[in-house]
A and B are shown apart, each in its own frame.
Chain A
Amino acid sequence: GSPFVSLLLALSCCQGLHHNNIDDYVEAEPVFQASKYGSLWPLPQKVQISEVSFKLSSASFRIVDAKASSAGPSCSLLQSAYRRYYEYMFGSAKKQWGSKNNRRSDPSDLTELQVWITSPDSECDGYPSVTSDESYELTVNQPVAVLKAPTVWGALHGRIYSIYFHCQIISYFPFSKSINATIINDFPRFQHRGILLDSSRHFLPIKVILSNLETMAMNKINVFHWHIVDEQSFPYLSRTFPQLSEQGAYHPYTHVYTPADVKMVIEFARLRGIRVVPEFDTPGHTQSWGKGQKDLLTPCYSGSKPSGSFGPVNPILNTTYDFMAKFFTEISTVFPDGYIHLGGDEVDFTCWKSNPDIQKFMEQQHFGEDYSKLESFYIQKLLDIVASTKKGYLVWQEVFDNGVKLKPDTVVHVWIGGRSDKEMSNVTAAGYTTILSAPWYLDYISYGQDWQKYYKVEPLNFEGTDEQKKLVIGGEACLWGEYVDATNLTPRLWPRASAVAERLWSAKNVTDIDDAFNRLSLHRCRMVERGIPAEPLFSSYCLHEYKGV
């Protein structure tokens, strides 16, 4: 009778969908069984787990820098990661009953994890980038485990806790945890593994963002796509244009991100190997910009008179481009990542059409009645401005669809559902790198285990050459904010986004949905144990239920 067996029984007796207006008796849906990979999530590229296991005790176990490592005690990124993972394994130091004990160790104990950064430059003080090497090798054997990684970014992913898969079962015995002898060789399938959070439709307090960054790290997600402003509100406090948030935020003090807040988010993310890619979406989705920046938006006309309402950014004024140049200069210094997301989606042309000055401009430019040409005109100028700040950019797919001339390193973000495979095919055929979000709009909810739908997506399932497929650098799960704020964001995102995380990290042939269910069940309990309210997959339990009620 190991506790594992009782978990197995508890899960296997679930009798279908009670009371779901389904008259026919439904047999048990998923039946939990222990995966041979325990709770590993996302599944490493290569993993060998032996039957031999070692004990881990909080009194004797240490995470240390290997002698040959290029990162030492001065690498605060690693030092704080060691502490974080030690506490995840054994609870916080305050709770340590055995902390006063000497470092006594049993012969069967695993006493050390040595972390060995092999490149001359550990990148310890840098920022993660799209080209960062995230690979690592982990060998768990007696008396020490070794984690080898070229850079700190890989080391973050190889934290011992991820193979510490018996935690679900044994962790309620305070000191004794165990780990199997294991060899792992791991690297991500895709470089760009992102999550989009929308802080405009609802303001997200910093605490919520930080705790989700923490959870992203547990899922080896490496990009936080911060859709920071949109129609509804402008919470980003700009040093150059403070009136944007003063007038455009839901509240000028309580519902804004100050420069210090933004810095905190970026550093918190960096310490977890996560890039922060900000999105400042134009020319549409900009109603909130207009409140603090006069003449930025196009005045809409009703007949021959201004109607008093405003449309997208006004593309025909020089002042617009002066503003954008100053604004994006600020953004390029505030956000260290090499990329900025420039949006460019869903531009509504009716206001432009109504405006006589715009009509005149269209004539001068010989655009005829094709307003997508006007949009392209705007985007083109904007891209040139941003390129001059030495940043790369991401754009939503419409920008590509409209034939805007893009820099070769532009990333096209595919989001429109239905025929996204065709779009992926077109974008890559034109030689652009791309990321996929269309199948991963997690704000769309439905009853039941929709994580399976996200899990079954194959991002390279489109017509194209091998060269084209190489241009797919990853994907993003999007949690748009119409119906999401701090109250429900975390349980709505996790573990559904974990399904996307494995799809983007693990090998293409990792598609066994039953094995995924078994590992993901344990992985979600691990998140819960770490204080993250990740919602359940199906009837069952975690040894440590969520306590944050």
Chain B
Amino acid sequence: MSVVTSGRYTFPNYNLVFFIFLQLGLHSVEGVWPLPQSITSSPERYPLNPQAFYFTYGSQSAAQEGCSVLDEAFKRYFSLIFPDYSSGRFYSEVKFLQWKNENTLSVSAGQAYLKAETVWGALRGLETFSQLVYQEDFGSYYVNKTEIEDFPRFQFRGILLDTSRHYLPVQAILKTLDAMAFSKFNVFHWHIVDDPSFPYQSRTFPDLSAKGAFHPMTHIYTQLDVRRVISYARMRGIRVLPEFDSPGHTQSWGKGQSDLLTPCYSGSTPSGTFGPVNPILPSTYKFMATLFKEVSSVFPDSYIHLGGDEVNFSCWKSNPDVRAFMLKMGFGADFTKLEAYYMENIVNLTAALNRTSIVWQDVFDYHERHNHMLAPDLILLHIWKGVPASYEAELRAITKAGYRVLLAAPWYINHISYGQDWRNYYTVQPLNFSGTEEQKKLVIGGEVCMWGEYVDATNLTPRLWPRASAAAERLWSDEKQTSDVDKAFPRLKDFRCELLRRGIQAEPLFVGHCKHEYQGV
């Protein structure tokens, strides 16, 4: 297996096979979350014997033993399915089976087959299979006869974690990656730096974290930490999308990189405070080029998130050099043009590194005002603002202009309220805007955002799960089949108990209990 370098799954076809030794029984099927595109199950059920059960590769499979992603996944899912058995045989025997050109999971007498185009599909299939297995009170494991055909509705299903407003220990990130795989999320959007702190330890600019992190030793992500996160995510079929947000949200950058930020003026003298990145200095772009070169070598994903949101113009306005530059460039008094100028430079910079840029919607909104557009193949826009009416309008406008787009606005999960707010996340209709089929295809997915003002390792997990799982089903499953939120309730309730069983402290949906309650504190 080669390293994941892209979100596009262009690997050769794989085929792998489970063998299960079976007897007949009766039980109804437990739910799978998110709901597969097509599932047929029968009351016929088969016991699973942990001592005899194993995963193995089909003979025609392009992936064979030695494929690290699947070898590891076999181990992981064995322990998830049989928590009482910490070790066992996983893939020692290889059986021969016909390869069929379908993405299917089929459980029938004796054996179960999982066919997938890529290892990434196989990971999703393993997750589904693990959710089909259930344990009866007396301890035996069962799986019902089942046929599943499955694929995601949207290719981008992300979760944003913010490690700048609070530092999240690596362990908390890894745990989140585990839980993400359980809900079939496939992108970890790492909002790694922002105003409050700069925890990313740069090889090229170590002062950024030495001076900009909350603490230069304990509150940073070393290169090793980052590699660990990326490889842990890869094993679970999750892309790591780093965000280095500029020109706003960069207070912490300024501590370790002098002259990067714009000096604000009070009258005719510098006030001692700093604003956004200084867009008029060549040194700024030189710095950014070097930093993003490093970032593109550290993070293998073909996308980089460049931010570009919420730029406060008051500091730029106060600075006489910036005003002179505006004049020279013919921007007049329109500072959105200056912002657009800056973003264009940064986008081109990352394009030169063979990376596609993702930017927050603000960039589109500014550019739209003066028909000063970046090419649609260079950027992807990320919608974060507003109520349904306004984000639907934004979806329409962005896709009409031919840009690909990601929707995050309805899934700001850091906003909490009393009661079952997961229902709001579930009932979102991402394609509910007026536009052509072509426009709808430009919506590549959605993202759950957990901003960090009020969240750190103490409350991240219960605040994220199972609320994010509601969005996961919206992004994976067929909308018609999953339009009834009341029908989803008992399934999500079961799924959250399964998360508990797997050690994820997912909070309750409502009164009730789980067989295995959370045993931590």
Chain A positions near chain B (C-beta within 8 angstroms): 6, 10, 13-15, 17-21, 23, 25, 172, 201-203, 205, 207-208, 211, 232-233, 250-251, 254-255, 443-449, 481-488, 490-492, 528, 531-541, 543, 545-549
Q: How far is the CB of A210 from chain B (nearest CB, A)?
A: 9
Q: Given the complex of chains A and B, what is the CA–CA distance between A488 and B477 in angstroms?
A: 28
Q: Which residues of B contact A21 (CB under 8 A)?
A: 384-386, 409, 412
Contact between chains at B165 and A486 (CB < 8 Å): no
Q: Which residues of A contact B256 (CB under 8 A)?
A: none
Contact between chains at B456 and A546 (CB < 8 Å): yes
Nearest residue, chain A, Cβ from B457: A546
Contact between chains at B456 and A483 (CB < 8 Å): no
Q: Given the complex of chains A and B, what is the CA–CA distance between A331 and B409 in angstroms?
A: 52
Contact between chains at A18 and B197 (CB < 8 Å): no
Chain B, residues 506-521, CB within 8 Å of chain A (1/0): the string is: 1111111101011111
Contact between chains at B419 and A15 (CB < 8 Å): no
Nearest residue, chain B, Cβ from A230: B511
Q: Which residues of B contact A233 (CB under 8 A)?
A: 513
Chain B, residues 452-479, CB within 8 Å of chain A (1/0): the string is: 1111111101110000000000000000
Q: Which residues of B contact A547 (CB under 8 A)?
A: 169, 171, 457
Interface centre among A255, A535, A547 (most CB of B within 10 A): A535
Q: Which residues of B contact A23 (CB under 8 A)?
A: 385
Q: Given the complex of chains A and B, what is the CA–CA distance between A203 and B519 in angstroms?
A: 11
Q: Which residues of B contact A449 (CB under 8 A)?
A: 454
What are 6 A-B residue pairs whose CB atoms fall within 8 Å in the complex? A15-B196, A448-B454, A487-B462, A535-B455, A539-B453, A548-B521
Contact between chains at A15 and B513 (CB < 8 Å): no
Interface stretch of the complex, out of B82-90, B91-99, B212-220, B349-357: B212-220
Q: Given the complex of chains A and B, what is the CA–CA distance between A447 and B451 in angstroms?
A: 12
Nearest residue, chain A, Cβ from B513: A250
Contact between chains at A541 and B418 (CB < 8 Å): no
Contact between chains at B196 and A13 (CB < 8 Å): yes
Contact between chains at A18 and B194 (CB < 8 Å): yes
Q: How far is the CB of B310 from chain A (nearest CB, A)?
A: 7
Known: A207-B519, A207-B521, A482-B510. A19 touches B195 (CB 8 A): no
Contact between chains at A491 and B517 (CB < 8 Å): no
* Beyond known contacts A14-B195, A201-B511, A232-B511: 13 more, CB 8 A cutoff: A13-B252, A14-B165, A18-B249, A21-B409, A255-B517, A447-B454, A483-B509, A486-B520, A487-B518, A490-B521, A492-B459, A533-B457, A545-B167
Q: How far is the CB of A239 from chain B (nearest CB, A)?
A: 23
Interface membership of B416, Cβ < 8 A: yes
Q: Given the complex of chains A and B, what is the CA–CA distance between A534 and B454 in angstroms?
A: 11
Q: Given the complex of chains A and B, what is the CA–CA distance between A15 and B509 in angstroms?
A: 33
Q: Which residues of B contact A490 (CB under 8 A)?
A: 458, 521
Chain B, residues 201-219, CB within 8 Å of chain A (1/0): the string is: 0000000000000110011
Q: Which residues of A contact B309 (CB under 8 A)?
A: 19
Interface membership of B488, Cβ < 8 A: no
Nearest residue, chain B, Cβ from A10: B214
Interface of A is mostly: loop
Interface membership of B297, Cβ < 8 A: no
Q: How far is the CB of A141 from chain B (nearest CB, A)?
A: 33
Chain B interface size band reads 35 or more
Q: Which residues of A contact B417 (CB under 8 A)?
A: 445-447
Q: Which residues of A contact B459 (CB under 8 A)?
A: 488, 491-492, 533, 535-536
Q: How far is the CB of B468 from chain A (nearest CB, A)?
A: 14
Contact between chains at B513 and A545 (CB < 8 Å): no
Interface centre among B169, B417, B456 (most CB of A within 10 A): B456
Q: How far is the CB of A222 from chain B (nearest CB, A)?
A: 21
Q: Which residues of A contact B508 (CB under 8 A)?
A: 202, 483-485, 487-488
Contact partner, B453, options A17, A444, A541, Cβ 8 Å: A17
Contact between chains at B196 and A20 (CB < 8 Å): no
Q: Which residues of A contact B314 (CB under 8 A)?
A: 25
Q: Given the complex of chains A and B, what is the CA–CA distance between A19 and B197 in angstroms?
A: 16
Contact partner, B456, options A6, A208, A488, A535, Cβ 8 Å: A535
Interface membership of B312, Cβ < 8 A: yes
Q: Given the complex of chains A and B, what is the CA–CA distance between A482 and B513 in angstroms?
A: 11
Contact between chains at B196 and A540 (CB < 8 Å): yes
Q: How far is the CB of A442 from chain B (nearest CB, A)?
A: 11
Interface centre among B214, B458, B461 (most CB of A within 10 A): B458
Known: A13-B196, A18-B194, A21-B386. A486 touches B519 (CB 8 A): yes
Q: How far is the CB of A185 from chain B (nearest CB, A)?
A: 34
Q: Which residues of A contact B510 (CB under 8 A)?
A: 482-483
Interface centre among A14, A19, A207, A254 (most CB of B within 10 A): A19
Q: Which residues of B contact A535 (CB under 8 A)?
A: 454-456, 458-459
Interface membership of B107, Cβ < 8 A: no
Contact partner, B513, options A14, A251, A540, Cβ 8 Å: A251
Known: A448-B454, A541-B166. A488 touches B507 (CB 8 A): yes
Contact between chains at A487 and B196 (CB < 8 Å): no
Q: Given the complex of chains A and B, what is the CA–CA distance between A535 and B463 in angstroms?
A: 11
Q: Given the complex of chains A and B, what is the CA–CA distance between A81 and B175 in angstroms?
A: 35
Q: Which residues of B contact A533 (CB under 8 A)?
A: 457-459, 521
